Amino acid sequence: MKLGYIGLGKMGSNMVERLLEKGHDVIAFDRNVDAAQEVKKKGGRAADTLGSLIATLAPSRLIWIMVPYQAVDSVLQEIAPLLAAGDVVIDGGNSPYKESVRRAQELAARG
């Protein structure tokens, strides 16, 4: 499976490591360039920007977001215009479920 992964903090970096160990093709982004470089050392790929992460993946994309819930909306605002119908976005953080429902509705309304 090929996927984009956003957020390489403690949870995100461990999840990416497990995905790579299982043979998945992971393209990761984190504001911390050093964290992204660690993914490369483990066999994944690192994107320089959120836009380049999205552009590297062909539709239908799988994008996994693992950032603090306070940052999810800003990440979605940046990537939403780049997404296509059929793309899947997973919010893997600890967002309150009502926020996740709202975000899903907003993305669905975009197509």
* Residue 28 phi, psi (nearest 5): -115, 155
From CA 1, how far away is CA 11, in angstroms rounded? 20
Domain covering 2-110 in this structure, CATH number = 3.40.50.720
Alpha carbon 14 to its chain's center: 14
Residue written as token pair 């429902």: 101
Query: What pTM did the predictor assign?
Result: 0.95
From CA 47, how far away is CA 69, in angstroms rounded? 22
- Per-residue model confidence as pLDDT tens digits over 67-78: 999 999 999 999
- Per-residue model confidence as pLDDT tens digits over 3-33: 999 999 999 999 999 999 999 999 999 999 9
Token pair in block for residue 40? 């490369």
